[in-house]
């Protein structure tokens, strides 16, 4: 749902914006509170995943940015996704200025996991990025297997368990063909999740896939 700016201000009284790093209430449309601003270090980087696809991220996964990801994941703190998506949008503009995208999508959750969580945090980030870049956001992928959460696994287990666990959403097969897609996730760790998703999208006929994560581990 898209609200006008005055209405967004009004809504912010009931659902105030929060600083993604400390969780305190902050000014609407401000990405970070005055306390945290001097402490955060933007380290925009560009990384290859699966030796093939490019991924960018504004932060490294430690300190305050790590706190932001944990808040988004486990504290049902949807009010911080706008600000996190804004940092990711800046990284996209810096790293992928030579490219244009047709659509924003996200790493999907298995339906069992969806039942347990209030929302898919990667989808919230994708939605913020899509608004910032004036692009459509679409659900293009389905998670077919239920795995243990990735952060509980080591590198080899991650790569093994994530293989062949995504497929393209049959409703989106026509849409994917020939598109340049921006794929979002919260954290880039081994890149195994993102590269599996890129593979599926390419196999379904995407022209190109680029990735963005909030933080690189």
β-bridge mates for residue 18, sequence order: 25
Q: 36 or 168, CB closer to Zn ion? A: 36
Give least dist CB 16 to Zn ion, A. Answer: 13
Does residue 87 bind Zn ion (CB under 5 A)?
no
Q: 23 or 205, CB closer to Zn ion? A: 23
Does residue 33 bind Zn ion (CB under 5 A)?
yes
Beta strand 45-49 with 166-168 is unpaired
SS3 143: strand
What phi, psi does 101 have (nearest 5°)?
A: -115, 150
Task: Please give the C-alpha separations between residue 16 and each of 132, 153, 211, in angstroms, as whole numbers.
Answer: 19, 35, 29
Neighbours of 217 (CB within 10 A): 15
Among 21, 59, 101, 175, binds Zn ion (CB under 5 A): 21
Give least dist CB 23 to Zn ion, A. Answer: 7
Does residue 19 bind Zn ion (CB under 5 A)?
yes
Give least dist CB 65 to Zn ion, A. Answer: 12
Q: Which residues bind Zn ion (CB under 5 A)?
A: 19, 21-22, 33, 36
């Amino acid at each position: 749902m898209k609200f006008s700016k005055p209405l967004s201000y009004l809504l912010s009284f009931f659902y105030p914006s929060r600083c993604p790093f400390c969780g305190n209430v902050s000014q609407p449309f401000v990405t970070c509170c005055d306390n945290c601003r001097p402490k955060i270090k933007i380290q925009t980087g560009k990384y290859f995943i699966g030796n093939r696809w490019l991924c960018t991220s504004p932060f490294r996964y430690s300190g305050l940015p790590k706190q932001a990801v944990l808040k988004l994941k486990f504290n049902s703190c949807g009010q911080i996704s706008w600000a996190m998506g804004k940092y990711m949008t800046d990284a996209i503009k810096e790293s992928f200025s030579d490219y244009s995208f047709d659509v924003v999508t996200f790493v999907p959750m298995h339906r069992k996991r969806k039942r347990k969580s209030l929302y898919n945090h990667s989808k919230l980030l994708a939605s913020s990025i899509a608004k910032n870049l004036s692009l459509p956001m679409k659900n293009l992928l389905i998670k077919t297997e239920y795995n243990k959460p990735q952060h509980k696994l080591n590198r080899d287990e991650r790569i093994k368990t994530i293989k062949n666990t995504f497929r393209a959403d049959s409703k989106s097969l026509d849409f994917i063909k020939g598109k340049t897609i921006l794929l979002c996730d919260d954290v880039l760790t081994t890149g195994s999740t993102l590269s599996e998703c890129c593979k599926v999208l390419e196999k379904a006929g995407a022209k190109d896939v680029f990735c963005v994560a909030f933080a690189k581990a």
